Amino acid sequence: MVTVYDVKAEPLIMEAAEDLEEEFDAPEWTNLVKTGSDRERPPEQENWYHIRSAAILRKIYTDGPLGVSRLRTVYGKRKDNGHGPEHQGKASGKVIRTALQNLEEAGLVETEEGEGRVITEEGQAFLDEKSEEVY
C-alpha cells in the first residue's frame, strides 16, 4: 500500500488541494492578505489557501501533533531587514489557524489537549488515497 511517505510532496499536495476546494470554501479575505510578515506581496495563485491547507494536512500527517506556533515557524522564511541582518520570519497565524479549523470541520484533523492538532483516521485515509492516485 502506498502512503504519504512513498510519494513526492508537491504532486500529493496539489492533488489533495483539488479535493479540499470541494470540501470547504476559502475565506473572503484570502485575496487581500500576505501569508506572513516576511512577505512583500500576497500569493498570486487563486487556490493558494487550499494548497496551504493541503500542505498543513500533510505536515500534520508526517510530523504531528503540531500546533499553530510550530506551523508558523515551518511556513515562515528569512525576513529581509534592509541593511540589517536577516532573521527568521514567521508565517501568518490567522491563515494557519483558519486552515486548521476548516480541516477540523471537515473531520481530517482533531485537537489533542496540550499537544496541538493530530490527523484523524479519515484524514489519514484521505491522504493515503491521494498518494495512491499520485503514485
pLDDT in tens, 47-78: 899 999 999 999 999 987 898 989 998 888 88
Residue 60 CA to residue 49 CA, distance in Å, equals 17
pLDDT at 109: 92
Strand extents, DSSP E, 8-115: 78-79, 87-88, 109-112
* Tens of pLDDT, residues 100-124: 999 999 899 999 888 889 999 999 9
Residue 21 CA to residue 40 CA, distance in Å, equals 26
Q: What is the pTM of this model?
A: 0.86
Domain ranges of the chain: 4-134
- Structurally, what CATH architecture does the domain formed by 4-134 represent? Orthogonal Bundle (1.10)
Residue 81 CA to residue 99 CA, distance in Å, equals 28
The residue written with cell numbers 510532496 in the block is: 9
pLDDT at 26: 84
Distances (CA, A) of 87 to 33, 73, 74, 92, 119: 21, 12, 14, 16, 31
Number of Cβ within a 10 Å radius of residue 15 = 18
